Structure 1
Amino acid sequence: MDYREFLEQIKKDLSERLSGVLEGATVDTTQVDKLQGRSYEGLSIVPEGSIIGLTMDLQPYFQMFNDGISYENIVEQIADRAAGAYADRPAVTAEDIGSYEAVKDKLMIQLIGREGNEEMLRTIPHHSIEDMEIVYRFHVQDTELGMASALVTNSMLERYGITAEQLKQDAFVSAVSHDPFEIKTMAEILNELMGAEIIPEDAMPMYVASNKERIHGVGVIAYPEFMEEAAKRLGGDFYVLPSSIHEVILIPDTPDVSALELQGIVQSVNVEQVAPEERLSDHIYHYDSKEKLFERSDKYESRKLNQGQERESSRSSVLDALRSNQKDCSERPHKNTAVIRRDVAAL
């Protein structure tokens, strides 16, 4: 039995198992498109009269089946999970999401990497910031399991009758108001988590930026006031290291900081410690507080090199002009100053 056949069989048997729990629920196979490479083909379960359905990725269960777990056991587990998920589902009505006015003040922003999300980005409104993309969600409900939110899609924009630019404007107003950014030292973060100060005094100064919940908090770096506020806190230019889709690390740009080493650290941590679905980027970024410019670090290094070459070229041009003027002066006939002094004395 391959995965497609497994899905079809589960679809049939699950409908029967759920008849006493979710009367009238529609069970069907579906393609679920998600960010960060988490798209999958699975099952959708829509209770009768509900506008919100449940989706389930059955790949783990298919693996269990291949590992020898009985089919009956697996169907029972899926049915229990579906019933439990339905009981914990957000209580959402058509009025909650049916109009733009209903969701406008619940909008949030999320920052994702462009690489690996190209297919999904074709179906959702987004705005670029270097090699990352700002996408938009709206808060649905807080549950015991956490916050439930929904991704804004192009079809939603059409239904709401708004443009992507209007969405962006309203989302930033809502996000800044309801989901403000926080910048804390690494020592403060570790103290909150472990209750102890464990950062050596001579360690490289590091700051963590996110939202208060530290969930999908990387989007705060796109807030209008964030970069300038961070520059004040860090004392000038700084590097931005993407720790995950939840937070970034800020490091002051000082002479003893190597961008190449920071880049290597990010790439190593991404491979060894960050789950693929939570990776933001393998690159590091830089904020120039004088130019008020946020850019990828390699662009910053290239721009700095070009500026140095331009200054050297300008300096050479000035020196060439001075040498030329000096040569012109040396080739001109000299006045007989002795005669002039004598004539002046005679007067």
Structure 2
Amino acid sequence: MDFETFKESLAKDVKEILDSRTGGDTQVESRTVDKMNETYDAITVKPEDSNIGVNLNATALYQEYEGGKSYDEIVDGAADVADSALKSRPDFDVQAFSDYDKMKDSLAMEVVSRGRNAELLETVPHKDIEDMSVAYRFVIGETAQGTGTILVTNQMLDN
């Protein structure tokens, strides 16, 4: 199975599993995720009534498939990860992002390689220091899967 077919099948099958578990309508879409130091194809999963979701790294999952892991095992694992992450996702007010007074206590800095992140840095506020750059994130919560953060973008500042 090629990568595009894998992504389409993964999105459809994860949605079916999550819809059957929750009895609801889960939104699932394919997209490219730009993160500091990496870009990957993802399947974004979120409840119908939410702006907050989870990204499943389809690139990494396809590498597992190419490495010999069964497709069904990958789908079941991805659905479990998405289900767990959605149940433990932090609860926060999306409208608060436009209010600095509400968000300033959750602001954190991240030091990254300027060269490796040049394209992404064009879309985020940052300060260059030598060959590094300081970018900014909002820390939105802690879960068993790790710390949830959102990269501050120029678009956020424009709104």
TM-score, normalized by the shorter chain, greater than 0.5: yes
Cα distance in 1 between the residues matched to 2:16 and 2:98: 32
What corresponds to 1:68 in structure 2? 68
Letter in 1 for 2:86: Y
Q: What's 2:123 paired with?
A: 123
Match of 2:12 in 1: 12
Bigger radius of gyration:
1
Match of 1:90 in 2: 90
Name the TM-score, length of structure 1 as normaliser: 0.43
Written as runs of structure 1 = structure 2, the 5 A alignment for 1:46-57 is: 46-57=46-57
Compare 53-62 and 114-123 and name the one that shifted more: 53-62
Describe the SS at the equivalent of 1:49: coil
Q: Which amino acid aligns with 1:26?
A: Q
The aligned residue for residue 25 of structure 1 is 26
Aligned Cα root-mean-square deviation (Å): 1.7
Q: Secondary structure at the match of 2:92?
A: coil
Question: How far is 1:98 from its partner?
Answer: 4.7
The SS at the match of 2:115 is: coil
Secondary structure at the aligned position of 1:148 is classed as strand
Shift of 1:60: 2.8
Separation in 1, partners of 2:95, 2:20: 29
* Residue identity opposite 2:52 in structure 1: I
Distance of 1:114 and 1:120 partners within structure 2: 9
Q: Distance in 2 between matches of 1:157 and 1:135?
A: 13
Q: Deviations over 1:221-251 (max 9, x none)?
A: xxxxxxxxxxxxxxxxxxxxxxxxxxxxxxx
The structure in which a higher percent of residues are helix is: 1
Is the CA contact 2:98–2:157 (under 8 Å) kept in the aligned structure 1?
A: no
Post-superposition Cα deviations, 1:298-344, rounded to whole Å, max 9, x if no partner, equal xxxxxxxxxxxxxxxxxxxxxxxxxxxxxxxxxxxxxxxxxxxxxxx
- Note if 1:134 corresponds to 2:134: yes
What do residues 140-198 of structure 1 show as CA deviations (whole Å, max 9, x unaligned)?
A: 12334443221100110101xxxxxxxxxxxxxxxxxxxxxxxxxxxxxxxxxxxxxxx
Amino acid corresponding to residue 35 of structure 2 in structure 1: K
Match of 1:157 in 2: 157
1:68 CA drift (Å): 3.0
Report how far residue 41 of structure 1 moved: 0.8
Question: Which structure would you say has the larger RCO, counting Cα contacts within 8 Å and 6 or more residues apart?
Answer: 2
One-letter amino acid of the structure 1 residue matched with residue 20 of structure 2: G
CA contact (8 A) 2:27 2:45 kept: yes
> In the TM superposition, what is the alpha-carbon distance from 1:32 to its structure 2 partner?
0.3
Contact 1:52 1:92 in 2 (8 A): no
CA 133–46 in structure 1, closer or farther in 2 if over 3 Å, else same? same
**SS at structure 2 position matched to 1:10:** helix
Superposition pairs of residues 277-316 of structure 1, within 5 angstroms: none
> In structure 1, how many angstroms separate the alpha carbons of the residues matched to 2:49 and 2:116?
36
Q: Sort the Cα spacing of 1:75 and 1:145 in 2 relative to 1 into closer, same or farther, 3 A.
A: closer
Q: Give the share of equivalent positions with the same residue, in percent.
A: 35
Aligned length: 158
Are the equivalent residues in 2 in contact too, given 1:42–1:56 (CA < 8 A)? Answer: yes
Pairwise CA distance, 1:96: 4.1
Normalising by the residue count of structure 2, what TM-score does the alignment of the two structures yield? Answer: 0.89
In the alignment, the residues of structure 2 paired with residue 19 and residue 101 of structure 1 have an alpha-carbon distance, to the nearest angstrom, of 38
CA–CA distance in 2 between the matches of 1:20 and 1:99?
38
Q: Relative to 1, partners in 2 of residues 1:16 and 1:128: Cα closer, same or farther, differing over 3 Å?
A: same
CA contact (8 A) 2:97 2:156 kept: no
